[in-house]
Amino acid sequence: MSLKKTSLLDRLIVKAPHSRLTLWCLSTAMRFVVPFNNPHRLSVIEFIPGKAVVRVPFCRSNKNHLGTTHACIMAAAGEYAAGLAIASLISPTHFRIIMRELHVNYLLQGRGQLTANCSIGETAQKLKSTPPTAEQPADVQTNSELRDNLGQVCATVTVLWQVKPLSQATPADSNNNADAY
């Protein structure tokens, strides 16, 4: 990611909690930062320090052969909300956020539009006050819930992240995460 893109991303992250227009700009920019999410039309609908809410539209590209929301898009939306919640606390300009583990518990079929909600607990909140160092990267566990229009929990997504200074990150981080640990 280029420095110019990242500094714009930092500005959007700082201003998004205070402006609906900036929130929309952040949501749109993230489609380019995370190209995998672009065809799924995920949108950021709430973004405050330590919390992110992502809307998953009920559209053809997000459906499975049964006509319900595909399991993989539910996992991706939970992971996306969690990554954004972490990014709300630390700058992606200075830190690399790497997913190490992903666990999804599917409770109900996703019918209709879903929302993925991640509120970061106290452990992750410490990232802001005590950021990871090159000698001591941080492992952060996040939990997201995906709910349908009726408010029923359809899935829970638990992600274990490694957060480390960008200066410590290596090319292996982006090519093969297993080599980074």
70-94: pLDDT as tens digits: 999 999 999 999 999 998 888 777 8
Give the CA diameter of the chain: 48
Yes or no: say if 161 and 127 are a contact pair by the CB < 8 Å rule: no
Mean pLDDT of 28-44: 84
pLDDT band at residue 179 using 50, 70 and 90 as cut-offs: very low
pLDDT at site 157: 97
Asked if pLDDT for residue 66 goes beyond 80, the answer is: yes
> Nearest 10 degrees: CA dihedral of 102, 108, 110, 112?
-140
Superfamily classification of domain 3-180? Hotdog Thioesterase (3.10.129.10)
* Per-residue pLDDT, 30: 84
Pairing mode, strands 114-119 and 51-56: antiparallel
Residues 24-41, buried b or exposed e (16+ Cβ, 10 A)?
ebbbebbbebeeebeebe
Predicted pLDDT at 168: 59
Does residue 171 register a pLDDT over 60?
no
3 state SS of 60: helix
Domain layout of the chain by residue ranges: 3-180
The one-letter code for the residue type at 88 is S
Strand partners, 147: 115, 153
Between 55 and 11, the higher pLDDT residue: 55
